[in-house]
Amino acid sequence: MLRRAITLFLLLMMPQLTFSQEIDDEEGDDGEYAVDSLLRVYALAKSDTSRLRLCYEIAKESNNVDIVDKYAMEGISLFSGTDSIMLAKLYQYYAWSQSYRENFEISVQYYKKAISLYEKYELYSEMCTSYNNMGTDYYDMKDYSNAWKSLYKSLNIAQEHCDTIDICYCYSQIANLYTANKMFVQAQETALKSFEIAMETNQNGEMGDAASLLSGIYDEDDSTSIRTAIGWGMKSEVYLGMVADTDDYFGTRLTDTYGNLIVLYKTLHDLTGNKIYVDSAAFYLSMLKDYASKNEFHDDKLFILINTIHVKHAKGKYKEALSDLQKAENIMKEGGYGYYKIWLYKEYYIIYKMLDDIPNALKYFEMHQEIVAENNNMQAAMEAAAFDARTSVEEENRNIMNDKRLKIEELEASREHYQKTSTTIGIIIATFLTIIIVIFLMLRHARETNATLSYHSEEIQVQQEMILMESENLVDKHRKILQSMNYARRIQMATICSDEELLEVFPSAMYCYRPRELVSGDWYWAMKIGSKKVLAVGGSARHGVPGALVGMLTLNALKDTLGQMSPMSPASPSAILRTVRSKLPEAAKSNKAGATLCIFSHNRIKFAAINQNAMLIKDGEPILMKGDQNKDEFYNVQTGDFILVYSASTKRELLSITPDPNIFCMEMSRLSTEDQMKHINKVFLRHRQSEDLTVVTVKL
pLDDT of residue 52: 86
To the nearest whole percent, how much of the chain has pLDDT over 90? Answer: 25
Q: Is the pLDDT of residue 25 over 70?
A: no
Residue 625 reports pLDDT greater than 60: yes
Q: What pLDDT is attached to residue 17? A: 31
- Quick: pLDDT tens for 495-509: 899 989 999 999 999
Quick check: 375 pLDDT over 80?
A: no
Angle formed by the axes of helices 204-215 and 184-201, nearest 10°:
160
pLDDT surpasses 70 at 642: yes
Q: Which of 541, 491, 516, 496 is nearest to 647 (CA)?
A: 541
Q: Which CATH superfamily is domain 1-162 in?
A: Tetratricopeptide repeat domain (1.25.40.10)
The model's confidence at residue 588, banded by pLDDT at 50, 70 and 90, is: confident
R_g of the chain, CA atoms, integer Å: 34
Q: What is the DSSP string of 286-324?
A: HHHHHHHHHS--TTHHHHHHHHHHHHHHHTT-HHHHHHH
What percentage of the chain reaches a pLDDT higher than 70? 88
pLDDT at 567: 87
- Top mean-pLDDT range of 129-133, 186-190, 218-222, 465-469: 129-133
Query: Which has more confidence, 200 or 17?
Result: 200
Checking if the pLDDT of 6 tops 50, the result is no
Is residue 24 predicted with pLDDT exceeding 50?
Answer: no
What is the residue-wise DSSP string for 359-406? HHHHHHHHHHHHHHHHHHHHHHHHHHHHHHHHHHHHHHHHHHHHHHHH
Inter-residue long-range contacts of 279-285, CB under 8 Å, 24+ positions, other chains counted? 281/310, 281/311, 281/314, 282/311, 282/315, 284/258, 285/258, 285/310, 285/311
| Residue-level pLDDT at 525 | 95
| Superfamily grouping for domain 500-699 | PPM-type phosphatase domain (3.60.40.10)
Q: Where are the domains of the chain?
A: 1-162, 454-495, 500-699
Where is 407: in which H helix or E strand?
helix 358-495
Reference 9, options 170, 119, 164, 161; nearest CA is: 170
The confidence score (pLDDT) of residue 402 equals 64
Using CA atoms, how far apart are residues 690 and 21, in angstroms rounded to an integer?
64
Can you give the pLDDT at residue 13?
Answer: 37
Return the closest-CA partner of residue 510 out of 676, 297, 641. Answer: 676
Per-residue model confidence as pLDDT tens digits over 422-466: 777 878 888 778 888 888 888 888 777 667 767 777 788 888 888
Mean pLDDT of 536-556: 88
Distances (CA, A) of 681 to 27, 233, 512: 52, 33, 10
pLDDT at 522: 94
| Contact between 43 and 72 (Cβ < 8 Å) | no
Mean of all residue pLDDT scores within the chain: 83
Average pLDDT over residues 556-565: 92
What does the pLDDT read at residue 2?
44
Residue 557's pLDDT is 92
Higher pLDDT, 173 or 124: 124
For residues 8 and 333, the model is more confident at: 333
Question: For position 22, what pLDDT does the model report?
Answer: 34
Question: pTM to 2 decimals?
Answer: 0.47
- Longest C-alpha distance within the chain, in Å? 110
Write down the pLDDT at residue 615: 94
Mean pLDDT across 486-515: 91
Evaluate if residue 261 carries a pLDDT over 90.
yes
